[in-house]
Structure 1
Amino acid sequence: MPRLSACPSCEEPLESGDRFCGACGYDLSAVPARPSDSPTIALDGVPPAGPVLPPPPPAPAPVPGHVQPQPETRPGAEAAAGVRFDRPREPDEYPLQAPDPRPAAAPAAVPGGATAVCVACRAGRVDDDGYCENCGHAQPRERDHMEQECGPLAAVSDRGLRHHRNEDAFAVGRTTLPDGSPASVAIVCDGVSSATRPDEASLAASRAASEALLAALPLGTHPQQAMHDAIVAAAHAVNSLAREPATAREHAEHTNAPACTLVGAVVTAGLLVVGWVGDSRVYWVPVDRAAPPARLTEDDSWAAQMVAAGLMNEAEAYADERAHAITGWLGADAYELEPHTASFKPDRPGVVVVCTDGLWNYAEAAEEMAGIVPLDAVARPLHSARVLVGHALDGGGHDNVTVAVVPFPAAPQGAGSA
């Protein structure tokens, strides 16, 4: 078998003697070797050193949310310093890893008395690393689809139809303020795919931010200050994932450290606080749909910079293939951390939608988002989160998609969804 340095399907680095890709299960024995030098992601607006291959032929149509690693620069719209591309080059499709609905015949036994049969060939035994011993297919991961309902709020996350893993993470929780009133907390993080271990970064950030908020709010810390401190805590958690360089590969990982974006919301009986770093968003959708909805966050992205600088209007900027290059993120290689926070006092009931770009790519304007949020979202937050994720999957599912639905005002402790 030819020796390959990276998987031809998903570009995952390979070890000597690999028969199947460890990320997507691609059969490596059926393809010829590829050149060892391949395009790399340019970070912070600096092109990679060494020879660079010519760019691949343009795709028939642009993919929403997809950024080419080395886009052509247009006059008057040069990439600003501190820009990081959050999407690596990907194949058109990854092998789907959904379980076969047909019942398995004679499942193979595994040590310990449990059984595990490959979801692809329905015959091979699954080893301890999660791969079929018969066909080598990677099995569905626990994070491919996640759902959580926490009283009157809920969140759903899905791998999508193009990524080989889910690099998003979320955390939702409830607590009580010193005056006895309730507070709901939702944190959503999107791993930067061009970084190393983005799934670990998003998970660490979501947990750290949620824990910080749930600890600070009962002590009387103002929700906006608590949100700021939670983002700082999340940044420290992601920074701790970066390792000191020891080998050439670890050195590359250190200079392209684990990274993610973060967006969160705290909902109380009369106050709505949001915080973010990156391009994940918060939307406000009133129960009275005659009242206008609103987007409550501003993206840390190339497109937002172009609009702010007056170089492009919003339609032009977000239609550009560089639109989702981010200018703010959590990670050891990030610039100075600048948490954004804002507080609002809605004058009517509604729902707060906290989501990654995997959703808002398919409903960018506030009016579009309000149009896909179910009318009974306050009473059925989990159902509504599922509907929103389904909308993104029906639209193409080009990215991981995560959404939390939080009713306003916060319901008393012990209250749940109808």
Structure 2
Amino acid sequence: MSQMPQQAALSKCPSCAEPLEAGDLFCGACGYDLSAAPAPPADEPTLTMTGAPDEDVDWPEPEPATTGSTEPRAHRAADVPGTDSGGTPLHAPQPPASGVRFDRPAEAGEPAEPEEYPLQAPDPRAEAPAQVCVACRAGRVDGDGYCENCGHAQPRERDHMERESGPVAAISDRGLRHHRNEDDFTVAHTALPDGSPAALAVVCDGVSSATRPDEASTAASRAAGDVLLAALPRGTHPQAAMHEAIVAAAKAVDALAEAPDGAREHAPHQNAPACTIVASVVASGLLVVGWVGDSRAYWVPDDRSTPPARLTEDDSWAAQMVAAGLMNEAEAYADERAHAITGWLGADAYELEPHTASFKPDRSGVVLVCTDGLWNYAEAPEEMAEVLPPDAAARPLHAARVLVGHALDAGGHDNVTVAVVPFPTPPEGAGSA
């Protein structure tokens, strides 16, 4: 229930200042009629420094900022009572003699910063928070990426990479035994001059016995990808574009062996940066592969009604033994020299011989472009097809994850990289592979 407001009680007589008691209607000393005394003025509310202005107040519009200042003024000097013509409060306290110079005086209604909390820019010399080891969750990580407590190497960005571009996807993983990932890849899609789509994948495997193999694989994959993306839209035949891409990749790796002054940093026998390369282009019903080294490309049809196939031949000791008829494939690849490569990209390589091949599959499928970190665990085309999910063309990234997972589950002794490139149903009348 609401009540009528009552006048506030007076503590002393307004006429003679005699103390009063609660409920007195007249002063006991002088007889002053207390009911006629005016009520004390109501207190004005105090706004906090961050309090919003009353919505009922008609606040003046702020003036546009003057040239040379980006801070809008809250009021004009004439709008603020109690200030002089320059806008300075008439009774403002003087700032302490602290040696600090302010570019402009504080305006009325603008709270001054407390002295004990001065505003200052972050110290650029301040150290970033220390990274905590992902293994022991206690040790600090040093500048080389190892835990100072348990010695565990911390994950690097390159340890596991996944990428999709249009219909193609690829994954590269450090594996379980290597201290770093020396593989790299490029996946992309573009359009031919007639507007039809083209997809490409480049996979490179750094030669671990060489210097800076990780840099070599990165340089090669990027250079080859750049050439393909530039050549295909110009109308260059995919097989010719593939040859140009491998040559460009070789030059990019060769350049890593040069010192800044152009002199050779490594003699041919000093293990200059090196890598292998394998690439694939799918465009206009054509499947083109190119390679140097022992990284491979496989073909797996979607319907599995025809057998899968390996599309590349290794530049390796084992392949030479088989080609010469000196060993069968099982004997050659069981030899400890099997993975010694006879062709690679690098300043210390023999004469560059890019291999290219062109196919016209008569049905849809996928091309798998991979390093030996995968095919070591699924060497035969039939083994690779068995591991590959049946919906690989529709879900290429998922398929790549399954393949990499297979290699890791089988031991993961090497870096593992695979790209999955779907090959769509060819137009009527296309030839067979």
Q: Aligned to 2:341, which of 326, 333, 340? A: 326
2:257 aligned residue: 242
* Larger CA Rg, structure 1 vs 2: 2
Paired position in structure 1 for 2:181:
166
Q: Does the alignment pair 1:180 with 2:195? A: yes
Q: What is the match of residue 384 of structure 1?
A: 399
Matches within 5 A, 1:17-416: 111=126, 116-244=131-259, 255-409=270-424
Name the CA distance, whole Å, in 2 between partners of 1:306 and 1:167.
27
For residue 210 of structure 1, what is the amino acid of its counterpart? G
SS for the counterpart of 2:244 is helix
Higher mean alpha-carbon deviation, 182-191 vs 122-131, is at: 122-131
How big is each residue's C-alpha offset from its partner over 1:67-96, in whole Å with a ceiling of 9 and x where there is no partner?
Answer: xxxxxxxxxxxxxxxxxxxxxxxxxxxxxx
DSSP 3-state at the match of 2:337: coil
| Structure 2: tracts of 5 or more residues without a match | 1-124, 427-433
Q: 1:253 to 1:341 in 2, by over 3 A?
A: closer
Query: Offset at 1:290?
Result: 1.6
Deviations 1:24-63 (A, max 9, x none): xxxxxxxxxxxxxxxxxxxxxxxxxxxxxxxxxxxxxxxx
Deviation at 1:131, TM superposition (A): 3.4
Q: How many pairs align?
A: 299
- On the 8 A contact 1:182/1:410 being kept in 2, the answer is no
Given that 1:183 and 1:410 are in contact with CA atoms closer than 8 Å, whether structure 2 keeps it comes out as no
Which residue of structure 2 aligns with residue 106 of structure 1? none
Question: Relative to 1, partners in 2 of residues 1:212 and 1:375: Cα closer, same or farther, differing over 3 Å?
Answer: same
Contact 2:299 2:308 in 1 (8 A): yes
Spell out, residue by residue over 1:114-162, the C-alpha distance to the aligned partner (whole angstroms, 9 max, x if none): 5521223322333444333445543211111111111211001111111
Structure 2-normalised TM-score?
0.66
State the distance in 1 between where 2:313 and 2:342 align.
Answer: 12
Task: Sort the Cα spacing of 1:297 and 1:280 in 2 relative to 1 into closer, same or farther, 3 A.
Answer: same
Asked whether the equivalents of residues 148 and 154 of structure 1 are also in contact (C-alpha less than 8 Å), the reply is yes
Assess if the C-alpha contact under 8 Å between 1:152 and 1:381 holds in 2.
yes
Higher relative contact order (CA 8 A, sep 6+): 1
Q: 2: CA distance between counterparts of 1:406 and 1:253?
A: 36
CA contact (8 A) 2:257 2:266 kept: no
Question: Matches of 1:200 and 1:337 in 2, distance apart?
Answer: 19
* 8 Å contact kept, 2:201–2:281: yes
> How far 1:271 sits from its partner (Å)?
0.4
Percent identity among equivalent residues?
Answer: 81
TM-align CA RMSD: 2.1
Indicate if the aligned counterparts of 1:196 and 1:253 stay in contact, CA closer than 8 A.
Answer: no
